[in-house]
């Protein structure tokens, strides 16, 4: 796993001892990190056998589940934070999972690659689909199924009554304050249930 500077942001938003659910937890390295520095009670969700194995090797709790079908079985408001780090763009049921995340946790933390990043735009202008640090795959082998920008996601949150409590945007690890939809390659959101 590479490209994980969103971990530091996520860690800042997690209080010690929280109950945390990490959707698409990969090899469990974020949960392992959070267990070490925040003593969280963490559970990962994965549906890929190799990643389940990797989590097991890392000593991380992992529950096999198809997130496209929601999080049935997990109680309302059970978790303090539910995290989806760089996985939302690889899911079909975008709206469904956001609803589920805010059902099972007080707050959701979501990070995703910004398709509107200027290098990505430049690539499209040059006639090719973008390949970058944040979108490392070719169009023909990418696991991503949803291509959206920071502005798109803001609009979706507004439409669905999801409160954006905090948003940080980065260009290859550097915090971007101005024009994030153009200048940032990755965004990290802290979301809550809207009023």
Partner 1 sequence: MIQPQSVGVVAPQRAHFAEPLPLRSGGTLPEYELVYETYGELNADRSNAVLVCHALSGSHHVAGHYADDAKNVGWWDNVVGPGKPLDTRKFFVIGVNNLGGCHGSTGPMSINPATGQPWGADFPFVTVEDWVEAQARLADRLGIRRFAAVMGGSLGGMQALSWTLQYPERVANAVVIASAPKLTAQNIAFNEVARQAILSDPDFHGGHYYAHGVVPTRGLKLARMVGHITYLSDDAMGDKFGRSLRHGKAIYSYDVEFEIESYLRYQGDKFAGFFDANTYLLATKALDYFDPAFEHGGNLPAALSRATADFLVVSFSTDWRFSPARSREIVYALLHNQRNVSYAQIESDAGHDSFLLDEAQYHALLTAYFDRIKV
Among residues 10, 20, 74, 110, the one that binds partner 1 under rule CB under 8 A: 74
Q: Residue 64 or residue 151: which is nearer to partner 1 going by CB?
A: 64
Q: Residue 35 or residue 187: which is nearer to partner 1 going by CB?
A: 35
Q: Residue 37 or residue 53: which is nearer to partner 1 going by CB?
A: 53
Q: Taking contact as CB under 8 A, which single stretch among the options 6-14, 48-56, 89-97, 162-170 is the one that binds partner 1?
A: 48-56
Contact at 8 Å (CB) between 114 and 59?
Answer: no
Residue 56 found at the interface with partner 1 (CB under 8 A): yes
Among residues 9, 24, 43, 82, the one that binds partner 1 under rule CB under 8 A: 43
Among residues 2, 16, 49, 177, the one that binds partner 1 under rule CB under 8 A: 49
Closest among 151, 152, 156, 127 to 139, alpha carbons compared: 127
Which residues of this chain interact with partner 1, rule CB under 8 A? 19, 41, 43, 49, 52-53, 55-57, 59-64, 73-75, 78
């Amino acid at each position: 796993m590479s490209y994980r500077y969103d971990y530091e942001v996520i860690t800042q938003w997690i209080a010690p001892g929280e109950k945390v659910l990490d959707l698409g937890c990969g090899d469990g390295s974020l949960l392992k990190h959070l267990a070490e520095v925040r003593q969280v009670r963490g559970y990962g969700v994965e549906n890929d056998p190799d990643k389940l194995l990797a989590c097991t090797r890392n000593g991380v709790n992992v529950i096999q589940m198809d997130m496209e079908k929601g999080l049935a079985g997990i109680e309302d408001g059970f978790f303090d934070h539910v995290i989806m780090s760089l996985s939302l763009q690889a899911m079909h049921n975008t709206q469904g999972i956001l609803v589920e995340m805010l059902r099972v946790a007080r707050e959701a933390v979501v990070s995703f690659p910004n398709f509107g990043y200027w290098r990505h735009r430049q690539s499209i202008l040059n006639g090719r689909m973008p390949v970058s640090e944040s979108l490392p795959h070719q169009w023909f082998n990418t696991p991503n199924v949803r291509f959206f920008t920071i502005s798109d996601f803001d609009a979706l949150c507004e439409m669905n009554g999801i409160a954006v409590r905090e948003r940080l945007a980065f260009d290859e690890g550097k915090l971007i304050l101005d024009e994030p939809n153009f200048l940032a390659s990755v965004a990290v959101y802290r979301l809550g249930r809207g009023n």
